[in-house]
Amino acid sequence: MSFVVIGEGRPARALLDYIVEAPGIAVNALVLKNPANNPLAQVAQRHGISVVDEARFSPEAAARARTPGAWLVNVNSTRIIPPQTLQLFETRSLNFHPGLLPEYAGVHTHQWAIRNGEREFGVTVHRMEQRIDAGAIVGELRLPIAPNDTGLTLFSRCLAAGAELFPRIIAQIARGEPLADVPQDLTRRRVYRHRDALDGRIDWNDTAQRIIDFIRAGNYEPFASPSYVAQLDKAAGFEIEVFRAIREAASAGEPPGAVIEMSAAGPLIACGDGAVIRVVKARSGHQTMTLPDWHDYVSRLPDRRLLGRGEANR
């Protein structure tokens, strides 16, 4: 039994390690983005596995890599597989999706789960078909969302879950066991697109908890976010990114976006539900905001008030 593997990162490495150690199964080819700079290429070469540049993985290249009965597995790659390639493998193609289906199809779904106030998330392995993230589910692994999870930490945990789940599925195939094949209820399907996750402006008309969740979902520090980072209104000399905020016990009694108080711990800001949050970690450029910086910034705001996102659009 053989596999053509498309993948990146920890889940792909876990799957590769499993297959090369398991008796009776093999990897025909490993398809990688930028293989010259990809450490997985070295792993493949040590085991005599052919490495194919993702940019050159055409249906013709897939046909050359395929052997009778081979499976195509896509592990942590965002590449969209063309129908001609899927047809080569008939029903033997699987995809790892870092999200729960059908409610969280598309990209950046872990960030949306935090933004939507979910307490549980997970990863899915499903059949590939022409419609993206819509094939029958063959396995899933669920994990709780911690109150302090950020976009980065939750995504890292999803990758770890995928590194655990996909080898289980491959083991089932190798043993000749039927896969679960649970059809998705596509009436519950929601697809999240990249362009829908690029606006980092905070909507101060929202509740305190939703604002806190929006901020932490965009936090990928020390790395760059693949989508947005929460932002405050621009003022002369200030383009402020916000990485952490906490809810305070006080009630606002002020309109949403009003800066109620400033201290060394950060500014206290009113939210749409009458609650307040304190911005405890923020940067302008590469510099952490200090109390003098906050005083200078707030002095430039009209009426010491930040605009809500809706107001900024008017």
> Which CATH number fits the domain that encloses residue 227?
3.10.25.10
pLDDT in tens, 97-140: 999 999 999 999 999 999 999 999 999 999 999 899 999 999 99
Same domain, 26 and 102: yes
Same domain, 87 and 139: yes
Its pTM stands at 0.93
Same domain, 158 and 207: no
For residue 205, the enclosing domain spans 198-307
List alpha helices for the chain, DSSP H: 9-21, 39-46, 59-65, 83-88, 109-115, 151-174, 208-217, 291-299, 309-313
Find the length of the chain.
Answer: 314
DSSP string, 222-235: TSPPSS--EEPPPB
In 3D space, the residue among 77, 70, 74, 36 whose CA is nearest the CA of residue 53 turns out to be 36
End position of a domain, from candidates 192, 222, 237: 192
pLDDT in tens, 59-103: 999 999 999 999 999 998 888 899 999 999 999 999 999 999 999
C-alpha to C-alpha distance for 289 and 291, rounded to whole angstroms: 7
Number of domains in the chain: 2
C-beta neighbour count of 138 within 10 angstroms:
20
Whole-number average pLDDT of the chain: 93
In a domain, 313, yes or no: no
C-alpha to C-alpha distance for 96 and 110, rounded to whole angstroms: 14
> Which CATH number fits the domain that encloses residue 180?
3.40.50.170
Same domain, 16 and 142: yes
End position of a domain, from candidates 133, 165, 192: 192
State which H helix or E strand residue 241 sits in: strand 240-251
